[in-house]
Structure formats: structure tokens, C-alpha cells
Amino acid sequence: MERTKIEQLFENYSFWRHLSEEEKKMLQEQIRWCTYEEGQMVTDTGRDCLGIFLVCDGILRANLVSEAGKEATVCRIHPGELCVISASCLLPALPFDIQIDAETDSEVYLLPTGILRQIMEKNIYLENFIYKKINESFSDIIAAIQKILFASLEQRLVGFLLDEAAGEKDGKIYMTQEQIARTIGSAREAVSRTLKGLVKGGCVELFRGGVRVVNRKELYKKI
């Protein structure tokens, strides 16, 4: 990749200005371009440690996965953002299984684990940057666990609907009930029952392949 291109990609991150010219060249030679289709698994739980992803287009989703296979979304990584949790093996392992998949068709740059580890051995700034980012991801994981343990299903569902509809003028969320259930760590049947209750309360409307928020004020009262 051209040097100017990689500098444009990473110059806004604090570690970049502390890399030597040799280290920048090493990253330039190793960075990879990857594409993923919607729904495709990017990393599997406990088995993959590919490196750091920089999302250029699309959305990646990090999921917390229980031993029983139950999932809950920890965070989403949007264009221009880094996904560092995919390189968590570079530091003491997180005591959780995290799976990353493509929520939409996605295009990303990948900084492989091997070259990152090699530079981290000599450059404390990169090590500190990754450590800080992984700690932030750890906070997201704890928040996701707290929601599952202490918030009711209705509260989790309402919070999710409000977050998803925040940027949509028409309030429409194009996700199936199965996808919503997976995201908030519940069963489709339970989500379906709760949505029906919200429909009766005049808070949402259901349409094929999605949900429309029609009364945000009433939804906020349920959180």
C-alpha cells in the first residue's frame, strides 16, 4: 500500500507519530485488505486472533457468547473506527468468548497480529494504545453483562430500539425479530411477545422484516 495512504488511515491515532520510519514501513508492507459479506464470521470465539481491523465500509459486530451458545452484542464498529478486541491475544486474555461478524457487507484493513507483536516488543506507545483500547472493550463487555443480568427483557429491548431508531427520521429498524433477539441476548419467542405488548401500547409498529418506533416518549418511560 502507498505510504501516503496508510498515513492517512492511521495519522489520527496517537501511536502513529511515535513509530519509527522502519516500523511504519513494516506496517505498510503487512497491512491487508479484507472484505466480508453480511452475516459472515470474521473471528470465532477463543480461536482467532487476527489483528486490528480498521473499518472502511460497512459495520462489524462484536458478540459476547455464552457456553450454551447464547449471544449478546457488545459493540458495533463503524467506518473509520478500529476494532482492537480482535487482537486481544496480544495482551492477557479476556475471560470472555468474543465473536466478531459482519453485520453488513464490509471492507476493512487488517494489521496482522504477528507484525503488531513484533513492533510492540520495541515500542511502548503501540502497546499502551492497544492496552487502552482493549480495556475500553472490556468496559463494553461488562456493560453488556450487566444489562443481561439486571435489566428486564423489556428494558433491554426498549433501549435497543431507541438506540437503533435514533438516527432514522421514520423510526424504522430493518432487523428481523430473530436478529433483534440475538443482538440483545434473548430468545426470538420472548422478543416477539414483548414487541406485541409494545404494539398494544402504541409504542411501535411491526412490518415485514423490521420494527418502526412510533412513540419515543412512551418508550423512554419504560427504561
Predicted local confidence at residue 74, as pLDDT: 82
pLDDT tens digits, 161-217: 998 888 778 899 999 999 999 888 888 999 999 999 999 999 999 999 999 999 999
Predicted local confidence at residue 93, as pLDDT: 55
Please state which CATH number belongs to domain 151-221: 1.10.10.10
* 94, 1 contact by CB (below 8 A): no
Residues above pLDDT 70, as percent of the chain: 91
Helix axes 21-30, 113-120, angle to 10 degrees: 170
Residue ranges per structural domain of the chain: 3-149, 151-221
Identical fold, 3-149 and 151-221: no
Predicted local confidence at residue 139, as pLDDT: 78
Handedness of CA 150, 155, 157, 160 (dihedral sign): negative
pLDDT tens digits, 62-110: 887 766 666 778 888 989 888 887 877 776 655 566 788 898 899 999 9
Please name the CATH architecture into which domain 3-149 falls. Sandwich (2.60)
